[in-house]
Chains A and B, each alone.
Chain A
Amino acid sequence: MPAVSLTVNGKPVRVEVEPRTLLVQLLRDNLRLTGTHVGCDTSQCGACVVHVDGKAVKSCTMLAVQAEGADVLTIEGLAPGDALHPMQEAFRQNHGLQCGYCTPGMIMTAVDIVRRKGFDLDDRTIREELDGNLCRCTGYHNIVKSIAAGARAMAPDAPMPQAAE
């Protein structure tokens, strides 16, 4: 079995996997990072989105071996310890989740949208950018609100967060 070496959430890992192992399976089964979820089999739901070398990738549509030498960031690595990344906090403040299953993928996608489109995101841009992510619970209204708020909070000149409720 080939071995793949990569960095996951800042830690180097080396795992032996069958070539057909998907990146999401390496993360979930081998590394027990179960925050990244599987929701479909046709690369359409986005529950599996992680960052590979700084960019959003659907980890169900990437072989683990393709991630050789890559720097992978999952939802678990978005903020250190028990801290919340501004995007995670924004989802919590704005009720951007209900069952939580699509949420890790949504948040990782959202952070990537900010990277590409900036801190001042309008309703239309966010909705267009979410065409690779499905949610069945929220009707998207509060997800869009969360992402707009999270983006503003990620801006370098954003005010310090208030004490948590």
Chain B
Amino acid sequence: MSATGLGASVRRKEDFRFVTGRGQYTDDIARPGQARAVFVRSPHAHATINRVGTSAAAAMPGVLAVLTGAEFAADKLGSLICGWMVHSKDGSPMKMAPHPALVAGKVCYAGEPVAVVIAESLAQARDAAEKVAVDYGALPAVVDPAMAQSADAPQIHEIATRNTIFEWHLGDAQATETALRGARHVTRLDLRNNRLAPNAVEPRAAIAEYDAGTDGFTLWNTTQNPHVARLVLSAFVGVAPEHKLRVIAPDVGGGFGSKIFIYPEEVICLWAAKKVRRPVKWVADRTEAFLADAHGRDHVTHAEMGFDAKGKIIGLRVKTIANLGGYMSTFSSSIPTYLYATLLSGQYAIPSIYCEVDAVYTNTVPVDAYRGAGRPEATYVVERLIEVAAREMGIDPAELRRRNFIKAFPHQTPVIMTYDCGDYGASLDKALELAGYKSFSERKREASRRGKLRGIGLSTYIEACGIAPSQAVGSLGAGVGLWESAEVRVNPTGTVEVLTGCHSHGQGHETTFAQFVAERLGIPIENVAIVHGDTDKVQFGMGTYGSRSGAVGMSAVAKALDKVEAKAKKVAAHLLEASEADIVFKDGKFTVTGTDKSAAFGEVALNAYIAHKFSGSELEPGLKEGAFYDPTNFTFPAGCHVCEVEVDPEIGETRIVSWTAVDDFGVVVNPMIVEGQVHGGIAQGVGQALMERAVYDETGQLVNGSLSDYVLPRAEDLPPLVVDTTVTPCPSNPLGIKGCGEAGAIASPAAVMNAITDAIGTEDLAMPATPQAVWAALQRTTRRAAAE
């Protein structure tokens, strides 16, 4: 392993600009003549828009325009769409309601944009926005997914009776029913997966610029996928033809899924830029981020796991109601279906599984992918069930898992996924060892002497990422293929630019991709530049999310490098006056086999462009190759997390005393970066389990839409994290990479809740396990015990 190749913890190239404040995030960009946009947002969760009075606002100082939904409708732009078709059990398609970027008829969630003010300065735009007079007709609202389908819930969209978007299922209902009826033991749980606000520290932003001379648009946007944004904006919304729209994602400050989707704001900025003939810039403030960024999770689930006399799982049945919010966001339908139910086998050999999912509209902001996107929800169900089952049956939770682990691969689950490889026992063993599982009872006794309750919780998770094989997802309803592209451009001076359709928003691609390329070509890592985030530079790509950039993005680079190597060999053959078949490429040198005639990569590169030696032959000058890589399967990272907590029963406060994670990500490109991804994912999962929940009251007001009221994990809330790996290389891509970006967030909520419920001796606890919730659970337990 070289100091800068695969497997090395190379320090990041991108860090220099970030630590010196030289990063260029969207709000750092000031376009000449730019005007500022502020949105007027509905204070009502559900209301008709009777009248929008703009004259007072339009007369305010500095105001260039005040635009409304009526004007938007008049310009006949298209709807925002959900690009993944899901069918109900009866074969009918999902009920996708129209979603204009700026509504005219009625609003469906508090915070929905109703008008936009464009002014010279931000302060002027804000002042004027307050003067826009909207006359609303308030309607009753429904916010709880468990209530959305009831007869007296207000109907939000005409197309969806009982606010039901689809009633979907997967698996074998009959076989599962039979299994559960014949089970020796059935564990049943009612679980809520709490609704989360993503809160990347950089708020969303967009700058739209229209060039009247070329009739072309440029959009700078905090997007995880500039090409997907461009496609949706051109093909569906119709704001510009694709070839006249350039989308640039500059440095992006975190995404976690929330910056995948195409939102109303960038549509409106583009539309407004052409109207006012000035660049239009919008930057969200944190309150807007809470109100208007897609939220995550929000499932209500009833689940049953049946066991035989030996503690083997024989059946799993799950019914989930998934809240998709006021409209269907870009990927929303896939999250509680194909990214959720397909993981319900967990790491276990389960013969029969049946899952039903009803997706519903409510008067809340749309819900879509948030780190893990369906897999944290699945893991929570499976890992809570097995832990509770172990307690109910009096079997050690690690032992019960071991009994049920899949041991032979490939393994076809009853829920579509075929796991290709893995060694779940290895990660469990290593995690238990590192976590000091065997000596836990001593620590528990010691804590008890101090009046504290210690608990330990496991989460042996598996996930499906490396999103995704196009044929598979296409057959499941995805509107686009989820391959990735790469173009390797070798310059005459031997430096290399790699254009990737992925886009780093914290993952360090400028370093990890360069590590791979530099090692492959035998050139210094400083000579490799990674280009991403601009639709004018990279022809097409699907972006970064779903832990796909290593598995899919780098595989595309690998394919392109194969082509570069093949072409370079041809050039070397001419240069070295040998036959192509005799050329070997190793350690950055092309050598004629059996001789000492060789040429360095740089020399071959230069000759490819000088072309003196082969003009006239069929070999074209130049050394630049592109490739698209379409995965043949999902990848299946898996592992074991162990969380140990100490609960103070007087105040219900939970302290995480240790965290151990042993993950199998296949081949690891940069261990330092992979660990960082796990750390961050764990923190988000801890946030979900202990403190985060986006709360709407019954009138549809988001009551905790600020950092004062929605609690995010801080440094004090986490201990140092012990992170290690086991490796079973992924067999389905050239590098053996499984991906690591989401695993921490997928594994962790179950580990935390398993630990706390272990500590307090009751399962009657929902996320977030705030001090108040834990204290109340303890009181209920004490009262119940006293009553018995």
Interface residues of A, Cβ cutoff 8 Å to B: 18, 20, 28-29, 32-42, 44-45, 47, 74-76, 78-79, 82, 84, 88-89, 91-93, 95, 97-104, 107, 123, 126-128, 130-131, 133-144, 165
Report B1-46 residues with CB < 8 Å from chain A CB.
3, 10-12, 14-25, 27-28, 30
Cβ distance A138 to chain B, nearest Cβ, rounded Å: 5
Cβ distance A76 to chain B, nearest Cβ, rounded Å: 5
Can you list 26 A-B contacts with CB-CB less than 8 angstroms, sorted by A residue number? A34-B21, A34-B27, A38-B203, A39-B202, A41-B285, A75-B21, A84-B16, A89-B19, A92-B12, A92-B15, A93-B11, A95-B672, A95-B676, A97-B19, A98-B254, A98-B507, A100-B17, A103-B18, A123-B720, A127-B714, A130-B716, A134-B712, A136-B256, A137-B254, A137-B676, A141-B720
Cβ distance A38 to chain B, nearest Cβ, rounded Å: 7
Q: Which residues of A contact B676 (CB under 8 A)?
A: 95, 98, 137-139, 142
Q: Which residues of B contact A144 (CB under 8 A)?
A: 715, 720
Complex Cα distance, B198 from A136, in Å, reads 9
Cβ distance A22 to chain B, nearest Cβ, rounded Å: 11
With A84-B20, A139-B679 already in contact, the answer to whether A97 and B123 are too (CB < 8 A) is: no
B505 at the interface (CB under 8 A from A): yes
Docked-complex contact B718 and A140, CB < 8 angstroms: yes
Docked-complex contact B203 and A137, CB < 8 angstroms: no
B508 at the interface (CB under 8 A from A): yes
For the A-B complex with A35-B23, A139-B683, A141-B679 known, give 18 more contacts whose Cβ atoms are closer than 8 Å: A37-B201, A42-B707, A92-B11, A95-B672, A95-B676, A99-B505, A100-B23, A101-B202, A133-B715, A134-B707, A136-B201, A136-B683, A137-B676, A137-B680, A139-B718, A140-B683, A140-B713, A141-B720
Complex Cα distance, B713 from A135, in Å, reads 8
Q: Which residues of B contact A99 (CB under 8 A)?
A: 200-202, 251-254, 505-506
- The answer, among B20, B708, B714, for a CB contact under 8 Å with A42, is B708
With A42-B286, A138-B680, A143-B715 already in contact, the answer to whether A35 and B672 are too (CB < 8 A) is: no
Q: Which residues of B contact A78 (CB under 8 A)?
A: 20
Complex Cα distance, B715 from A131, in Å, reads 7
Closest residue of chain A to B718 (Cβ to Cβ) is A140
Main SS at interface, chain A = loop
Docked-complex contact B287 and A41, CB < 8 angstroms: yes
Closest residue of chain B to A79 (Cβ to Cβ) is B20
Closest residue of chain A to B202 (Cβ to Cβ) is A101
Q: Which residues of B contact A165 (CB under 8 A)?
A: 3, 10-11
Docked-complex contact A74 and B21, CB < 8 angstroms: yes
**Range of interface residues on B (Cβ < 8 Å):** 35 or more
Docked-complex contact A103 and B19, CB < 8 angstroms: yes
The 7 closest A-B pairs by CB, nearest first: A35-B21, A101-B253, A100-B18, A99-B506, A139-B679, A139-B683, A98-B506
Complex Cα distance, B473 from A152, in Å, reads 51
Complex Cα distance, B678 from A76, in Å, reads 30
Main SS at interface, chain B = loop
Q: Which residues of A contact B679 (CB under 8 A)?
A: 138-142
Complex Cα distance, B199 from A39, in Å, reads 9
Docked-complex contact A44 and B715, CB < 8 angstroms: no
Interface residues of B, Cβ cutoff 8 Å to A: 3, 10-12, 14-25, 27-28, 30, 123, 199-203, 251-254, 256, 285-287, 505-508, 672-673, 675-676, 678-684, 706-708, 712-716, 718, 720-721, 744
Docked-complex contact A141 and B721, CB < 8 angstroms: yes
Cβ distance B726 to chain A, nearest Cβ, rounded Å: 20
- The answer, among A37, A93, A98, for a CB contact under 8 Å with B25, is A37
Q: Which residues of B contact A44 (CB under 8 A)?
A: 707-708
Complex Cα distance, B676 from A11, in Å, reads 37
Cβ distance A13 to chain B, nearest Cβ, rounded Å: 17
Cβ distance A109 to chain B, nearest Cβ, rounded Å: 11
Complex Cα distance, B714 from A33, in Å, reads 27
Q: Which residues of A contact B716 (CB under 8 A)?
A: 127-128, 130-131
Cβ distance A89 to chain B, nearest Cβ, rounded Å: 8
Closest residue of chain A to B203 (Cβ to Cβ) is A39
Q: Which residues of B contact A20 (CB under 8 A)?
A: 123
Q: Which residues of B contact A28 (CB under 8 A)?
A: 27-28
Docked-complex contact B715 and A101, CB < 8 angstroms: no
Q: Which residues of B contact A143 (CB under 8 A)?
A: 715
Q: Which residues of B contact A29 (CB under 8 A)?
A: 30
Between A41, A89, A127, the greatest number of chain B beta carbons within 10 A of the residue's beta carbon is seen for A41
Complex Cα distance, B676 from A92, in Å, reads 13
Complex Cα distance, B122 from A18, in Å, reads 12
Complex Cα distance, B268 from A72, in Å, reads 38
Cβ distance B6 to chain A, nearest Cβ, rounded Å: 16
Q: Which residues of B contact A136 (CB under 8 A)?
A: 199-201, 254, 256, 680, 683-684, 712
Q: Which residues of B contact A42 (CB under 8 A)?
A: 286, 706-708
Complex Cα distance, B707 from A141, in Å, reads 22
Cβ distance A126 to chain B, nearest Cβ, rounded Å: 7
Cβ distance A77 to chain B, nearest Cβ, rounded Å: 9
Docked-complex contact B21 and A45, CB < 8 angstroms: no
Q: Which residues of B contact A102 (CB under 8 A)?
A: 201, 253
Docked-complex contact A38 and B30, CB < 8 angstroms: no
Q: Which residues of B contact A127 (CB under 8 A)?
A: 714-716, 718
Cβ distance B345 to chain A, nearest Cβ, rounded Å: 28
Q: Which residues of B contact A103 (CB under 8 A)?
A: 18-19
Cβ distance B435 to chain A, nearest Cβ, rounded Å: 16
Q: Which residues of A contact B11 (CB under 8 A)?
A: 92-93, 95, 165
Docked-complex contact A41 and B286, CB < 8 angstroms: yes
Q: Which residues of B contact A101 (CB under 8 A)?
A: 23, 25, 200-202, 253-254
Complex Cα distance, B18 from A89, in Å, reads 11
Docked-complex contact B30 and A88, CB < 8 angstroms: no
Complex Cα distance, B200 from A91, in Å, reads 20
Q: Which residues of A contact B285 (CB under 8 A)?
A: 40-41
Complex Cα distance, B287 from A82, in Å, reads 36
Cβ distance B201 to chain A, nearest Cβ, rounded Å: 4
Complex Cα distance, B20 from A130, in Å, reads 20
Cβ distance A108 to chain B, nearest Cβ, rounded Å: 10
Docked-complex contact B253 and A100, CB < 8 angstroms: yes
Between B18, B256, B678, B712, the greatest number of chain A beta carbons within 10 A of the residue's beta carbon is seen for B18
Docked-complex contact B19 and A130, CB < 8 angstroms: no
Closest residue of chain A to B681 (Cβ to Cβ) is A139
Docked-complex contact A40 and B707, CB < 8 angstroms: yes
Docked-complex contact A37 and B202, CB < 8 angstroms: yes
Complex Cα distance, B17 from A39, in Å, reads 19
Docked-complex contact B682 and A39, CB < 8 angstroms: no
Complex Cα distance, B681 from A78, in Å, reads 31
Complex Cα distance, B678 from A87, in Å, reads 24
Q: Which residues of B contact A138 (CB under 8 A)?
A: 676, 679-680, 683
Complex Cα distance, B14 from A129, in Å, reads 27
Complex Cα distance, B672 from A6, in Å, reads 41
Complex Cα distance, B62 from A45, in Å, reads 31
Complex Cα distance, B356 from A121, in Å, reads 52
Complex Cα distance, B675 from A136, in Å, reads 15
Complex Cα distance, B29 from A32, in Å, reads 9
Docked-complex contact B707 and A38, CB < 8 angstroms: no
Cβ distance B108 to chain A, nearest Cβ, rounded Å: 25
Docked-complex contact B712 and A98, CB < 8 angstroms: no
Q: Which residues of A contact B684 (CB under 8 A)?
A: 136
- The answer, among A88, A97, A131, A141, for a CB contact under 8 Å with B718, is A141
Cβ distance A53 to chain B, nearest Cβ, rounded Å: 20
With A98-B680, A99-B253, A127-B715 already in contact, the answer to whether A134 and B201 are too (CB < 8 A) is: yes
